Amino acid sequence: MSVLMTLRIALKALNRNKMRTILTMLGMIIGVGAVITMVALGRGAQATIEEQVKSAGTNLININAGNFMLGGVRQGAGMATSLMPEDAEALRELPGVQYVSAGVNSRGQVIAGNQNWSTQVQGVDVELPLIRSWPTKYGTFFTPQDVASAAKVAVLGTVVAETLFGPDVDPSGQIIRIRNQPFKVIGVMASKGQGTFGQDQDDTIFVPFTTVQKKLQGIQHINNITVSAVSPDTAPVAEAIGSLLRIRHKLTPGEPDDFMVRTQEEIASVRTETTRTMTTLLAAIAGVSLLVGGIGIMNIMLVSVTERTREIGLRLAIGARGKDVLLQFLVEAIVISLFGGLLGIALGFGLSAALERFLQWPTSIPPNAIAMAFGFAAATGVFFGFYPARKAAGLDPIEALRYE
Amino acid sequence: MSTPVISVRDLVKTYVVGEVTVRALRGANLDVEPGEFIAVTGPSGSGKSTLMHILGCLDRPTSGQFFLDGKDVSRMSKDELAAVRNRKIGFVFQGFNLLSRTTALDNVELPLLYNGGARMKSAERHRRAMEALSAVGLADRYHHYPNQLSGGQQQRVAIARALISQPSIILADEPTGNLDTRTSIEVMGIFQRLNIERGITIVLITHEMDIAEYGTRLVRFRDGRIQLDQEITKRRDAAQELAALPPPEPEEPNAPADRVPAEHLGGVS
């Protein structure tokens, strides 16, 4: 019998019991829809991370004092004072290094007039706006003279500026008190948004690192160095930095680093790896519902074969071959799974769009989603439809015709 | 001397059910010439159904030979047997076995869909189906579903289906078992007409002697063997008998009646 004829017969059979067909399809619809939505959410999250990482700056290398990879108090506290401003200066000489900024971090209560705010105070060097691709909205960033003289000048992040002075106000020239010391506001940073670790990058104040060292904390060392490389190929530069610092810190070959050098890709890749693992896990769970949908198809086809035993017996008696019967029932199963798959794809797209629109969860449907979903649906139909179809084809016509 | 349509030699069928060995056929010999109308009778378990299954190529004998239209069918493969069933044999069953929710026309043309060799156009299929329906007097009901037809009409559709591939023989297994007296005579009348006017060879199983007497020859089975095989001398004439019957009771238009669910009307789901 021609495939077209078999298809028509299969469609007719499915149409005879519409409710049952729809309910069986539901398993596939939900399964495919769920997998697509999960993958879309996962990819959306990954895309968001990549954006956040990009917004942190390009070709970045972070050097942190102390090596918490080793764990334990033994390494942490003592070694954390080994990073010095001179190390930062030395890094400038390395080929492949474009800009360098020493960094000292602090926190403090900031007061302006009758407003106050507790925020992060980042001590940095003049090149920070270049490194982070972060321009000022109002005013200017500080100068090398400010750094040399440990001047008490501050550039505010937009959240701090708005909290202390109100929105759309240029507070340049105003005096604020950080930890009770007066600082002159010389500018406000442009808005940056959420950072790589989910922190609000605009809730911060930039101050010369020397000022934090001498005026706020009274220390000689620095906490970190931020470097931007000339090219995106940051790995060799990171290596060179590591080697130089080991020499400068007089570390012998057996000793572990007393610092951590991490490229932006490494930081990002840790997060994307986590997200990717989560996406795979979610997709696998959703895939379980696909499996259940397939089992549902097999179950209903088996019931259908039993119900239609006499019909099968009749078809065999009037000349249907085993493979004609096999094909008929297999096509029925495939029609259910493909149609269910199609509707599931629609559901997946719709659900992703709804999540994005109403919950602002980023989603990104992979370009081969439709093809893959279709492929899976078809494979499910063939796989789970085969056993019932074979059962039908193997019926003995005499027994089948006698079946009550 | 024409070749017999059916030629059976020393047919034996033995099968095992659990621990019991059943010797259903113990050596049957039979020749059926074209145009004959054989009535096969016998008590239950006498082997007549088993013979029918082998003649219908639904089963293979344990030993012995079966020639259909001169060809040895007894050693054919499953697929070859399917092809033989499709082109050379027309079945009529006691339970009609029509596909439910399928029109009479679609039911009748079903064998043509499995006709692997000749890919027929649908117009040709429809034409042949209408022809077959006319032969049984139901051309005007071609679009009806089985649950819209009476038992007798359903059986006639089944007969039309059996005719459509112009088979060598029609095999009927208790075709009147589910029909009342009057309808039984109508249906036997159709068989007779096809046999006499068109020369179609018919092999019909029944356990009722009055039905058997519409045929030309009686074959009686007992204990797996043919006990009796002789011409029917006083052949009944269904058309005459039908004419002689009083007219059917008129239906009372407003009589209370139970609605019978469609599943109980003999269609095959």
- Contact of A308 with chain B, judged by CB distance below 8 Å, is answered with yes
Q: How many independent structural domains does chain B possess?
A: 1
Q: What pLDDT, on the 0 to 100 scale, is given for residue B118? A: 63
- Domain membership of residue A265 (yes or no) is no
Q: Are strands A175-178 and A97-112 parallel, antiparallel or unpaired?
A: antiparallel
Buried b (16+ CB within 10 A) or exposed e, A91-123: beeeebbebbbbbbbbebebbbeeeebebbbbb
Instruction: Give the distance from residue B236's alpha carbon to the nearest chain A alpha carbon, in angstroms.
Output: 30
Q: How high is the pLDDT of residue B10?
A: 92
pLDDT band, very low/low/confident/very high, at A113 (cuts 50, 70, 90): confident
Residues A233 and A349 in one domain: no
Shortest alpha-carbon distance between residue A37 and chain B (Å) = 40
Residue B208, in any domain of the structure: yes
Boundary (domain end) residue, out of A199, A214, A248: A248
B209 in any annotated domain: yes
Cα A332 off chain centre by? 40
A258 domain-assigned = no
Quick check: A398 and B268 CB within 8 A? no
**Would B70 be classed as within a structural domain?**
no
- Residue B199 CA to residue A265 CA, distance in Å, equals 90
Q: Is residue B67 part of a domain?
A: no
* Mean pLDDT calculated for residue range B119-144: 90
Say if B145 is an interface residue toward chain A (CB within 8 Å). Answer: no
pLDDT for A347-362, tens place per residue?
A: 999 999 999 888 888 8
Whether residues A379 and A317 share a domain: the answer is yes
**Is residue A114 domain-shared with residue A244, that is, in the same domain?**
yes
pLDDT tens-place string over residues A219-247: 888 899 999 888 878 888 888 998 998 88
| One domain, residues A139 and A40 | no
Looking at the domain assignment, is residue B132 inside a domain?
A: yes
Mean pLDDT of chain A: 86
Is A113 in the same domain as A222?
A: yes
Over the stretch A41-100, which tens digit does the pLDDT of each residue have? 888 888 887 777 776 666 888 888 887 665 554 444 445 778 889 988 998 888 888 899
Q: How many CB atoms lie within 10 A of CB A197?
A: 10
Residue of A261, A262, A267, A259 whose CA lies nearest to A76 = A259
CB atoms A319 and B99 under 8 Å: no
Distance, in angstroms, between A288 CA and closest chain B CA? 34
With helix as H, strand as E and coil as C, how does chain B read?
A: CCCCCEEEEEEEEEEEECCEEEEEEEEEEEEECCCCEEEEECCCCCCHHHHHHHHCCCCCCCEEEEEECCEECCCCCHHHHHHHHHHHEEEECCCCCEECCCCHHHHHHHHHHCCCCCCCCHHHHHHHHHHHHHHCCCHHHCCCCHHHCCHHHHHHHHHHHHHCCCCCEEEEECCCCCCCHHHHHHHHHHHHHHHHHHCCEEEEECCCHHHHCCCCEEEEEECCEEEEEEECCCCCCHHHHHHHCCCCCCCCCCCCCCCCCHHHHCEEC
Which residues in B52-89 are b (16+ Cβ under 10 Å) and which e? bbbbbbbbebeebebbbeeeebbebeeeebbbbbbbbb
Does residue A78 fall inside a structural domain? Answer: no
Residues of A in Cβ contact (< 8 Å) with B119: 2
Predicted local confidence at residue A75, as pLDDT: 47
Please tell me whether residues A48 and A100 are part of one structural domain.
no
- Residue B261 has what pLDDT? 62
Pairing of strands B37-41, B217-222: parallel
pLDDT at A272 exceeding the cut of 80: no
Distance from CA of A387 to the nearest CA of B (A): 20
The pLDDT assigned to A301 comes to 92
Report whether pLDDT(B173) > 70: yes
pLDDT > 70 fraction of chain A, expressed in percent and rounded? 95
- A250-264, A290-304, B80-94, B145-159: least confident range: A250-264
Q: What was the ipTM of the complex prediction?
A: 0.89
State the average pLDDT over residues A168-175. Answer: 89
Asked if the structure places residue A256 within a domain, the reply is no
- Interatomic CA distance for residues B76 and B64, integer angstroms: 13
The answer to whether residues A44 and A87 belong to one domain is: no
Same domain? A123 vs A235: yes
Which of B53, B82, B87 lies at the smallest CB-CB distance from A398? B53
pLDDT mean across residues, chain B: 88
Question: Tell me, what's the pLDDT at A180?
Answer: 86
B241 pLDDT band, cuts 50/70/90, is confident
The model's pLDDT over A311-346, given as tens digits with 9 standing for 90+, comes to 999 999 999 999 999 999 999 999 999 999 999 999
Instruction: Report the C-alpha gap between B206 and B94 in whole angstroms.
Output: 10
Each residue's pLDDT tens digit, B36-71? 999 999 998 888 989 999 999 998 889 999 999 988
Residue in A102, A74, A89 with CA at minimum distance from that of residue A255: A74
- The whole-number pLDDT of residue A3 equals 80
The nearest alpha carbon in chain B to A306 belongs to B269
What pLDDT is attached to residue A74?
A: 47
Q: Is B83 an 8 Å CB contact of chain A?
A: yes
How many separate domains does chain A show? Answer: 2
pLDDT at B269: 46
How large is the average pLDDT for residues A109-118?
A: 88
- How far apart are alpha carbons A228 and A231 in whole angstroms? 9
Q: Give residue A203's domain range.
A: 83-248
> Are residues A319 and A226 part of one domain?
no
Biggest CA–CA distance in chain B, Å, is 60
Instruction: Supply φ then ψ for residue A164, to 5 degrees.
Output: -85, -35
Taking an 8 Å cut-off on Cβ atoms, the answer to whether B58 and A398 are in contact is yes
Range 321-350 of A in CB contact (< 8 A) with B? 321-322, 324
The residue-averaged pLDDT of B143-150 equals: 93
**pLDDT band at residue B117 under the 50/70/90 scheme:** low
Among A149, A108, A145, A100, smallest CA distance to A124 is for A100
Nearest to A124 by CA among A76, A95, A88, A73: A88
Q: Are residues A228 and A274 in the same domain?
A: no
- Scanning every residue of chain A, which has its alpha carbon at the shortest distance from the alpha carbon of B86? A319
Residue with tokens 């789970």: A384
pLDDT for B263 equals: 54
Residue B25 resides in a domain: no
Closest CA relative to residue A192, chosen from A135, A272, A264, A119? A135
A207 forms beta bridges with A123
